[in-house]
Amino acid sequence: MKLVHWISTGGLAALAAATAYAQQAQPRPQMSPQARPTPRMTIPVNALLPATSALFDSYVAQNKMPGIVGAFGVGEGPTLFPSAGKISDDPNAPAAGPDSLWRVYSMSKPITGMSAMMLVEDGKLNLDDPVSKYIPAFKDMKVATSPDTSLATRPATRPITIRNLLTHTAGLGYTIVTKGPLLKEYERLGILPLSVSAAMEEKMRPV
């Protein structure tokens, strides 16, 4: 369902941080360090992961991407980094590898998700908690009935939960995917990526 109200990934990060702050969480006990030998690779990655290596090579050959690197690991074994191609389509670009620097989007999502799940593990957050428990403004939500043509709404039949936010099933729109009247309303109210990020950063500083 599409909701008129909005929230950014930064909003969930603020929620997670505020919850941890309010609960005065105790520091986790320090684990005694144990020296472990670093696993050594003696077999080429493409021999251990032939299907993955072949898939990566095919992506580069078909010009779907100039280069690609994957990371695969199980338990205490070594992490495998199959790779193919270069870091860009520049003929002089270096080969792609585990130390390559990439422009990656949405990296706040895994950080936020991990932070939220740590709070769940500590018993300070429940996945089925309504968001309104922490942000009261989300208590009485409304659903857009014809989002492509108008801002008409009806009351939501259920609350938005933490689980909804973490699984992108809250029905909240944002500027890069929202269209029509709701997008125009966002623009009218100044709810734009840069302004939202600046506002969230300002609110996070005291926390």
Residues 200 and 157 in one domain: yes
DSSP class of 89: S
Residues 151 and 198 in one domain: yes
pLDDT in tens, 46-84: 778 899 999 999 999 999 999 999 989 878 888 899 999
Per-residue pLDDT, averaged over 94-104, amounts to: 88
Residues 131 and 101 in one domain: no
Residues 96 and 54 in one domain: yes
Any domain includes 170: yes
Any domain includes 38: no
> For residue 68, what are the domain limits?
44-105
For the chain, the average pLDDT equals 79
Residue with tokens 């105790």: 26
Residues 192 and 128 in one domain: yes
Are the CB atoms for 67 and 96 separated by under 8 Å? yes
Residues 95 and 146 in one domain: no
Any domain includes 115: no
Q: What is the pTM of this model?
A: 0.52
Residue with tokens 């909701």: 3
Contacts of 202 (CB under 8 A, 6+ apart): none
Any domain includes 179: yes
Q: Which of 11-15, 78-82, 159-163, 185-189 has the highest mean pLDDT?
A: 159-163
Residues 139 and 200 in one domain: yes
Any domain includes 71: yes
Q: Residue 69 in 3-state DSSP?
A: strand
Per DSSP, the residues of 141-201 read -EEESSTTT---EEE-SS--BHHHHHTT-S-B--TTT--HHHHHHHHHHT--HHHHHHHHH
Residues 15 and 83 in one domain: no
Any domain includes 92: yes
B/e letters for 18-46, b = 16+ CB within 10 Å, e = fewer, are bbbeeeeeeeeeeeeeeeeeeeeeeeebb
Q: How many CB atoms lie within 10 A of CB 139?
A: 12
Any domain includes 33: no
Counted residue by residue, the chain has a size of 207
Residues 78 and 150 in one domain: no
pLDDT in tens, 20-43: 434 444 444 555 555 555 555 556
Domain boundary among 55, 72, 105: 105
Radius of gyration (C-alpha) of the chain in whole angstroms: 22
Q: How far apart are the first and last CA of the chain?
A: 32
Q: What percent of the chain has pLDDT over 70?
A: 73
Any domain includes 111: no
Structural domain tally of the chain? 2
